[in-house]
Amino acid sequence: MAPLRTDPNIIITGTPGVGKTTHCQELASRTGLHHLDINDVVKKHNIGETSNDPADPHVKIVDEDRLLDCIENDLEEGGQIIDWHGCDMFPEKMIDLVCVLRCDNKLLYDRLKARGYSEEKLQENLDVEIMEVLVQEARDSYKEEVVVELRSEGTEDIDANVERIETWIQNWRKDNGKEGGDVEAKEEGKGKKDEDDPMFLHG
């Protein structure tokens, strides 16, 4: 049996430009959880290939097995806010919440254009957003109740999202570890949506 975590593991995912890192940094600052930037892990352990195009310096191919080996202890310990543009590689049993950030296509275009993305790479990322590729990936990889879509188009959205996730973390801690409780009762209750939990108010 996997060790019980006293803090949750959360994935913040979405196409480039939706504000993943900003969300993760703010959440880490407010909750004490650790911002686990997968790009940093890949670079530190040299487990990914990067583009030679200065306008597209993002990791292209990652050795997923080696990556998971590098972060396995962190995930088992808990308290990780995972910052990455995908989610299906992370073991379901170690993930407690998946937040897929979404952004208006025109705004996303402007953000990526400002980053110097080539037209081909820009269109590729817009297609991913339009076709809801990452949303579907999250739904295919994790239980419905742990996946939530969050709008990320401005400062107001970021503030609201962070507050919403922070409240969810507080509730998770009460139910799963830091304040104790009946483990069997917790296990029996898993998978049931709590209508008072703000993370399940998808509208």
Residue 15 labelled as part of a binding site: no
Residue 115 labelled as part of a binding site: yes
* Residue 188, both tokens: 């029996």
Residue 22 labelled as part of a binding site: yes
Residue 13 labelled as part of a binding site: no
Q: Which amino acid is at 158?
A: I
H helices, E strands: number in the chain: 8, 7
* Residue 83, both tokens: 């910052």
- For residues 126 and 61, the answer to whether their CB atoms sit within 8 Å is no
Residue 19 labelled as part of a binding site: yes
Cα separation, 130 vs 109, whole angstroms: 12
Beta bridge partners of 37: 83
Binding site members: 17, 19-22, 115
User: Residues forming the annotated binding site for ATP?
Assistant: 17, 19-22, 115
